[in-house]
């Protein structure tokens, strides 16, 4: 696969110059929008976010079926991908994120799932407050590391991919679900109009933080195109790098293995 130059090192919300600024701003932004995050996710994606997470889980079924498999959902936010993975199989799932209020919501949802009143009661899921660039886990800990709409928010994408590599077992799987910009043309134009004009207004009105929903299209525009991300993963030593674009090229799932 051809190696493409990385367009940027990491996310840079407006006003952020250094990696430290970027991390701080991203963390503050998610801390602020946490109470409305799920509602807006489902609303603005027309519920497609649920489908994308369920589809991701299905693609990882062979790992999730193993009761001995340990899975980290990184940048887990309010836990929706972690719960989708848990529903799909028997593997042990843990989540990690650096925004405390997102984790508070994840823990509430986990407790509701674990409640004895819930017929299919599941044990509470562990959620760790941790920075994806400095994970508090030993090397070679996980069989699978997933991240949904998370990698794009890291202040240093390459450092994030290396840190995931460190905590994956040799032969372990990485799965990255992320927004992408569809190709130019009618659909691309409609997407950009919706993403850049409509979504920030609705997001701003409901969350009270318009800048967070202006950041979303800006960060997607700044992030890698799927072949570029695949090339970077290859360059970092990941094996069997593959990606699938879904929903007319608006999201992509990248999968790869840590070398043995
Ligand atoms: C768009 S949300 C995605 C949440 C969830 N994965 C989902 O599918 O809805 C991005 C999440 O990444 C987290 N995040 C961004 N940078 C991070 C970092 N350096 N370390 C840990 N979490 C980070 C944010 O706090 C936020 O919860």
Nearest to 148 by CA among 227, 206, 66, 93: 93
Q: Please tell me the distance between residue 88's alpha carbon and the centre of ligand 1 in angstroms.
A: 22
Q: Please tell me the distance between residue 156's alpha carbon and the centre of ligand 1 in angstroms.
A: 14
Please write the tens of the pLDDT for every residue from 61-97.
Answer: 999 999 999 999 999 999 999 999 999 999 999 999 9
69 contact partners, CB below 8 Å, separation of at least 6: 63, 91, 92, 143, 144
pTM over 0.95, yes/no:
no
The helix/strand/coil state of 67 is coil
Please write the tens of the pLDDT for every residue from 132-152.
Answer: 999 999 999 999 999 999 999
Report the nearest atom of ligand 1 relative to the CA of 30.
25
Are 224 and 7 in contact by the 8 Å Cβ rule? The answer is yes
Domain ranges of the chain: 19-181+225-257
Q: Please tell me the distance between residue 46's alpha carbon and the centre of ligand 1 in angstroms.
A: 20
Confidence of residue 8 (pLDDT cuts 50, 70, 90): low
Calpha distance 247→251 (Å, rounded): 7
- Its CATH class, for the domain covering 19-181+225-257, is alpha beta
**Mean pLDDT in the chain?**
92
């Amino acid at each position: 696969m051809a190696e493409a130059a990385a367009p940027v090192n990491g996310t840079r919300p407006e006003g952020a110059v250094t990696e430290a600024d970027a991390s701080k701003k991203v963390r503050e932004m998610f801390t602020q929008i946490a109470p409305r995050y799920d509602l807006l996710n489902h609303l603005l994606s027309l519920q497609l976010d649920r489908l994308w997470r369920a589809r991701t889980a299905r693609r990882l079924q062979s790992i999730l079926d193993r009761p001995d498999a340990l899975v980290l959902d990184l940048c887990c936010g309010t836990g929706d991908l972690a719960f989708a993975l848990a529903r799909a199989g028997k593997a042990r799932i843990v989540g990690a994120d650096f925004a405390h209020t997102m984790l508070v919501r994840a823990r509430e949802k986990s407790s509701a799932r674990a409640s004895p009143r819930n017929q299919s009661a599941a044990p509470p899921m562990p959620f760790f407050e941790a920075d994806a660039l400095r994970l508090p886990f030993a090397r070679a800990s996980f069989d699978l590391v997933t991240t949904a709409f998370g990698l794009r928010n890291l202040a240093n994408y390459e450092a994030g991919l290396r840190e995931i590599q460190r905590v994956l077992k040799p032969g372990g799987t990485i799965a990255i679900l992320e927004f992408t910009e569809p190709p130019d043309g009618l659909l691309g134009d409609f997407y950009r109009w919706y993403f850049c004009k409509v979504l920030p207004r609705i997001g701003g009105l409901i969350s009270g933080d318009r800048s967070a929903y202006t950041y979303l299209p800006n960060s997607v525009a700044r992030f890698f195109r799927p072949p570029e991300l695949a090339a970077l993963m290859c360059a970092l030593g990941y094996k069997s790098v593959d990606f699938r674009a879904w929903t007319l090229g608006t999201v992509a799932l990248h999968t790869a293995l840590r070398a043995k």
